[in-house]
Amino acid sequence: MIHLPSKLRRFLSTPLWATVAPYGWGLLFCLIPFLIVLKISLSELKMGLPPYGPLVEWVEEGLLVIRLHLGNYTFIGTDSLYVLSYLEALTIALISTVTCLLIGYPMAYGLAKASPSVRAPLLMLVILPFWTSFLLRAYAWIGILSPHGLLNTALIKVGLIHQPLVLLDTHFATILGIVYCYLPFMILPLYASLEKIDSSLLEAAYDLGARPFQAFWQVVVPLSLSGVISGSLLVFIPAAGEFVIPELLGGSQTFMIGKVLWNEFFTNRDWPVAAALATVLLAFLLIPLAIFQRLQERQVRLFNA
Amino acid sequence: MHRTLSLFLKIWMTLGYGFLYFPILTLVVFSFNASPQVTVWHGFSTQWYGSLLQDTVLIRSAFVSLQVAVLSATLAVVLGTLAAVSLVRFGKFRGRGLFGILTTAPLVMPEVITGLSLLLLFVGLEQTFGWPKGRGILTITCAHTTLCMAYVTILVRERLADMDLSLEEAALDLGARPLKVFTAITLPLISPSLVSGWLLAFALSLDDVVLASFVAGPGSSTLPMVIFSSIRFGITPQINALATLIITGVAMSVGIAGWLMHRRR
């Protein structure tokens, strides 16, 4: 065995060698980009490429001028289109999260209670859609919900309706799409927390005379709270900024902020306003993001794969 | 009472799985439809699969996507594993809190925010340093690596947290250097999560449309970007055929990953 000088030994046992690469990556591709967004949200729209003006400028006589253009923020705050888009995005994300929880909790509970031999394949069946393209799964609903789609055709054939229902291009379709696409994100952390619960606790509750529902509500639910919170955050945070699903299923009446930001950037080419919209959205999500991070610190399980 | 509960759970799960799989099933079934109409069945045909092979735009974009997915999945596994090891095994170090945020926040961050901020970074870098010249496979790979790294970090971190420390401790007591312990003991033990992390990262990269749309340049459209622009104009059986192929590929890789994870237990 080679005997290393103690200094080198200590160097190799410090976190440095392993940490520096991912840390550097995170700083360059995660932290600095946000600072740039913040900077550009405070600059003025200009013609040309890139379409924004500088914040810091040398003026004659050796004068350094820093100009913070707050106009983008006051513009967002006073234009009701933007205010309504934020409200709509947060409301739709909230409704979708609650729906995911209501559908997902019994499924996760059933998974955790299933016998070990069927549990693995059943779990696999939840993971499979989680890995399958969001884009294609949202697309599948167009064929089902469109005026001449599967659902309307079936309902007309059965005789329940005579005119096709307007299902596509509605808020309903957007919420359905979000619930459908994000459901596995809810089930997996719920399952991870429910699976850990010691069944002897439930038995003790029964022995002490608790009825099944009471035992479930007072023993199982509190113990699975970390799963409920992390599942809800995994759905709510990305859903609040969702673009693909409202674009494909929501039609022209849905103004979720992700869609508005996209149009501001790609159609209007107004980079400063898009940057300000992103900053404000991030500000709305700061508290949920902080809770998510706190759970990460406490090593709450998300996937348990 | 017990029986009603389990009956309720059984019915609920059947409905839940039906909800998860019915739409995917419709995609697959109508990809074999003889008529271009996606909602009425006109007999069995594989013509849409044949027409996929003649779509050069689609094929070129598929190659772009595959390159990006292989590169970013590999980078993400390397960086994510290092990040997870740092988070689980190194205890507290200065800047750990920020490190945790930087490596896992992209998992939940709305894609429009990540995409916009990365594009502005690349534009700023090009202006200041002249690099990267324009945008294309390189910038998409960087964006996807950032996203996928978060998933890999969490997967590996959960596996590391489960792992028994005593093996590593024993090796250290016997005089092995930390690096040796890592390559000879830790790495083989977490290898199943590295494989499933790679496959998950590959699938995520192959699916992303938002990040890629922000950071792609002219001529570097990825497969999801091409799919997205064509389904905005409505449904076509050709996309159904493509979807069926992608879903089959994903199902196979999930199967492999699941088998690997199952075997280790």
Q: In this model, does residue B138 exceed pLDDT 70? A: yes
| β-pair partners for A45 | A52
In eight-state DSSP terms, residue A52 is B
* Distance from C-alpha of B81 to C-alpha of B79, rounded to nearest angstrom: 6
- Count residue pairs from A and B with Cβ separation < 8 A: 273
Closest CA in chain A for residue B19: A180
Of the partner residues A19, A33, A262, the one whose CB lies closest to the CB of residue B120:
A33
| CB within 8 Å of chain B, chain A residues 62-101 | none
Nearest chain B Cα to A127, which residue?
Answer: B254
Question: Does the beta-carbon distance from B239 to A242 stay under 8 Å?
Answer: no
Q: How far is A284 from chain B (nearest CA, A)?
A: 12
C-alpha distances in Å from residue A109, one per residue of A78, A180, A234, B19, B147: 46, 19, 18, 17, 30
CA distance B67 to chain A (A): 18
Q: Tell me the backbone φ, ψ of residue A63, rounded to 5 degrees.
A: -100, 125
Contact: B110, A274; criterion CB under 8 Å: no
**Euclidean distance between CA atoms B26 and B22, whole angstroms:** 6
Question: Hey, which of A41-50, A191-200, A277-286, B32-41 has the most confident mean pLDDT?
Answer: A277-286
Residue A266 pLDDT level (bands cut at 50, 70, 90):
very high
Contacts of B247 in chain A (CB under 8 A): 132-133, 136
Separation in Å, CA of A29 to nearest CA in chain B: 7
pLDDT at A177: 97
Nearest CA in chain A to B152: A303
Residue of A nearest to B102 (CA): A26
Mean pLDDT of chain A: 88
- B265 vs B69, more confident: B69
The residue type found at A237 is I
Distance between B101 CA and the closest CA of chain A, angstroms: 7
Element (H, E) at A258: helix A257-266
Of chain B, the end-to-end C-alpha distance in Å amounts to 35
Q: Residue A246 CB: number of other CB atoms within 10 A?
A: 29
The predicted pLDDT at position A84 comes to 94
The DSSP result for chain B, as a single string, is: -HHHHHHHHHHHHHHHHHHHHHHHHHHHHHTTBSSS-SSS---B--HHHHHHHT-HHHHHHHHHHHHHHHHHHHHHHHHHHHHHHHHHHS-S-TTHHHHHHHHHGGGTS-HHHHHHHHHHHHHHHHHHH--S-S-SHHHHHHHHHHHHHHHHHHHHHHHHHHS-THHHHHHHHTT--HHHHIIIIIHHHHHHHHHHHHHHHHHHHHH--HHHHHH--TT---HHHHHHHHHTT---HHHHHHHHHHHHHHHHHHHHHHHHHHHH-
Q: Is the pLDDT of residue A252 over 90?
A: no
pLDDT higher than 50, residue A118:
yes
- Calculate Rg over the CA atoms of chain B: 22
Residues of B whose CB is below 8 A from A18: 82, 85-86, 90, 182
Number of Cβ atoms within 10 Å of the Cβ of A62: 6
Nearest chain B residue (CA) to A275: B116
Which of B3, B12, B20 is the best substitution to test chain A (most A C-beta atoms within 10 A)?
B20
Which residues on chain B are in Cβ contact (under 8 Å) with A235?
none
Q: What is the pLDDT of residue A15?
A: 58
Structure confidence at residue A140 (pLDDT): 92
- In this structure, the number of other CB atoms found within 10 A of the CB of residue A205 comes to 18
Quote the CA–CA distance of B247 and B256 in Å, as a whole number.
Answer: 14
Among A17, A29, A303, the strongest candidate for a mutation testing the B interface, having the largest count of B CBs within 10 A, is A29
Q: Do residue B175 and residue A1 have CB atoms under 8 angstroms apart? A: yes
Report the residue of chain B nearest A111, measured CA to CA: B13
A26 touches B: beta carbon within 8 Å: yes
- Contact between chains at B6 and A34 (C-beta distance less than 8 A): no
The residue type found at A242 is E
A140 at interface of B, judged by CB pairs closer than 8 A: yes
Residue A3 banded pLDDT, cuts 50, 70, 90: low
- The closest alpha carbon to A176, from A90, A260, A89, A95, belongs to A95
pLDDT class of B196 with cuts at 50, 70, 90: confident
| CATH (residue range B49-264) | 1.10.3720.10
A128/B196 CB distance under 8 A: no
Nearest CA in chain B to A112: B9
Token pair, residue A244, equals 């693909």
3-state secondary structure of A58: strand
pTM of the model: 0.91
Class of the A70-297 domain?
mainly alpha
Separation CA A21–CA B80 (nearest Å): 10
- Candidates B3, B15, B81, B113, partner chain A, best to mutate (most A CBs within 10 A): B113
Cβ <8 Å between B101 and A40: no
Kindly list the residues from chain A whose CB atom is less than 8 angstroms away from the CB atom of residue B178.
12-13
CA of B14 vs chain A CAs: smallest distance (Å): 9
Average pLDDT over residues A54-66: 74
Pair A18, B85: CB distance under 8 Å: yes
Chain A residues with CB-CB distance to B12 below 8 A? 106-107, 110
> What amino acid occupies position A211?
R
What pLDDT digit, counting tens, does each position of A64-91 carry?
777 788 888 998 889 899 999 999 999 9
Least confident of A53-62, A176-185, A219-228, B196-205: A53-62
For A140-184, the three-class secondary structure string (H helix, E strand, C coil) is HHHHHHCCCCHHHHHHHHHCCCCCCCCCCCCHHHHHHHHHHHHHH
Q: What is the mean pLDDT of residues B160-170?
A: 82
8 Å CB contact between A147 and B235: no
Q: What residues in B contact A212, CB-CB < 8 Å?
A: 1-2, 5
Domain boundaries, chain B: 1-30, 49-264
User: A11 and chain B: CB distance < 8 Å anywhere?
Assistant: no
pLDDT band at residue A100 under the 50/70/90 scheme = very high
Contact at CB, B120 and A19, closer than 8 angstroms: no
pLDDT of residue A1: 43
How far is the C-alpha of A144 from the C-alpha of A167, rounded, in Å? Answer: 9
Q: Is A119's Cβ below 8 Å from some Cβ in B? A: no
CB contact under 8 A, B124 and A211: no
pLDDT value at position B38?
A: 65
Counting beta carbons within 10 angstroms of the beta carbon of residue A193, is it exposed (0 to 12), middle (13 to 18) or buried (19 or more)? Answer: buried
Q: Is the pLDDT of residue B178 over 90?
A: no
Q: How far is A159 from chain B (nearest CA, A)?
A: 17
Task: Judge: B86–A107 Cβ closer than 8 Å, yes or no.
Answer: no
Contacts of B19 in chain A (CB under 8 A): 103, 180, 183
> What pLDDT, in 10s, does the model give residues B78-104?
999 999 988 887 777 778 889 989 988
Radius of gyration of chain A (CA): 25
Is the confidence at residue A55, as pLDDT, over 80? Answer: no
The yes-or-no verdict on residue A11 having pLDDT over 70 is no
pLDDT band for position B1 (cuts 50, 70, 90): very low
Cα B212 to Cα A97, A157, B99, distances in angstroms: 26, 42, 25
